[in-house]
Structure 1
Amino acid sequence: MDIRSFFALIFLIIITSCSKDSSPAEPKISQEQLDAITGLYNLSEYMVSPAQDLNNDQVFSQNLMEELDCLSASIILREDLSYSKFAMQLNISPITNDLYAISCNFNESTSGTWDLVNGQIVLSEESENSYSLDGSVLTLTQGNVLPEFQSQVFIKQ
């Protein structure tokens, strides 16, 4: 056997011994999970501490949704793992003691991708935060006091 025949035989063995993996990779998120997660979520609670009376009704509330009519936010989680978030940004300034001046500032829109990591929803533009999902309730918990927030709760529509 000459050297060319030998290399041709080796080449043929290598080519025919390699098989293509015909099974597609398992999706990271199942279709059942996608169906349960994707959709429109609207802000229902914006919890702060200490409680505030921003609408001057003599009732202090930890939920700023009860105090500011202009406060709103929505998150759309799509099946292609993209998202859009629309949220009213707040101006928060200390007044005295535990009282704060809080007002709506401007609507901010963000978009990117989302992922399911250890049962938590992570948005690419908020990678330091993760949202817990319990049925149709999406919750971002930070546990901070003003001027930061304790939690934001979104309900699937």
Structure 2
Amino acid sequence: MKNPIKVSFLLTAVFLLMSCSSDDNGSTQPTINFSVIGIWDLVEVNVSSAQDIDLDGTPSSNLVEELPCISGTLLIDADFSWTFEQSDVAITGITGGLFFAQCSGTTSATGTWTANDTEVLFQGSSQLESLRISGETLVNNIDEDLPGIGSFVYARRQ
């Protein structure tokens, strides 16, 4: 009778020791990518086919090169807040894959952010939800059909 009691006691002790691990702190914290902190400027507003909206004889698929009124700034701050202001672009189809584009006001938003190795996630506004980290740029793929925006690209201000 003594052996089953000893075995039972020993199994209980082993089970308790294994279930209380030293690396179990009760919660797991996600890793935050702090390399996204800074001021980011809008450098590209891409469309699917090159256009010559400014009629300078050089078509471009980047509307920033065609419309000088386009601008945008994104501040990602170390206190996990962000602010955003960007030109709105209105695009109207003409014919044969051509379109007319013009600036039509600005959009601004604020909120909180988090980031991992591949994307920055924004909370607080539907104007900006996530940006993919692509080397030294942040990219918002919209992929609208023509006439529409394909992507917005932001580069860190130097």
TM-score of the superposition, structure 2-length normalised?
A: 0.73
Structure 1 residue 42 displacement after superposition: 0.2
**Secondary structure of the equivalent of 1:96?**
coil
Instruction: Measure, in 1, the Cα distance between the counterparts of 2:64 and 2:122.
Output: 23
Structure 1 residue 127 displacement after superposition: 8.1
Instruction: Measure, in 2, the Cα distance between the counterparts of 1:67 and 1:85.
Output: 22
Amino acid of the structure 1 residue aligned with 2:98: L
What corresponds to 2:134 in structure 1?
134
5+ residue gaps, structure 2, are: 1-24
5+ residue gaps, structure 1, are: 1-22
Residues 31, 116 of structure 2: 8 Å contact kept: no
Measured against aligned partners, the alpha-carbon deviations of 1:89-112 in whole angstroms (never above 9, x if no partner) come to 012111122111100111211111
What corresponds to 1:143 in structure 2?
143
Amino acid of the structure 2 residue aligned with 1:133: I
Rate the CA distance shift 1:37–1:151 in 2: closer, same or farther, 3 A.
Answer: same
Within-5 A mapping of 1:2-17: none
Q: In terms of mean alpha carbon deviation, does 104-113 or 140-149 score higher?
A: 140-149
Structure 1 residue 49 displacement after superposition: 1.3
Structure 1 residue 133 displacement after superposition: 1.3
Structure 1 position 63 matched with structure 2 position 65:
no
Amino acid of the structure 2 residue aligned with 1:140: N
**Secondary structure of the equivalent of 1:66?**
helix
Rate the CA distance shift 1:39–1:91 in 2: closer, same or farther, 3 A.
Answer: same
Q: In terms of mean alpha carbon deviation, does 124-133 or 139-148 score higher?
A: 124-133
Measured against aligned partners, the alpha-carbon deviations of 1:70-117 in whole angstroms (never above 9, x if no partner) come to 101111111121111100001211112211110011121111112225
TM-score of the superposition, structure 1-length normalised?
A: 0.73
Identity of aligned residues (%): 27
What corresponds to 2:15 in structure 1?
none
Structure 1 position 43 matched with structure 2 position 17:
no
Rate the CA distance shift 1:60–1:153 in 2: closer, same or farther, 3 A.
Answer: same
Rate the CA distance shift 1:104–1:127 in 2: closer, same or farther, 3 A.
Answer: closer
Rate the CA distance shift 1:118–1:156 in 2: closer, same or farther, 3 A.
Answer: closer
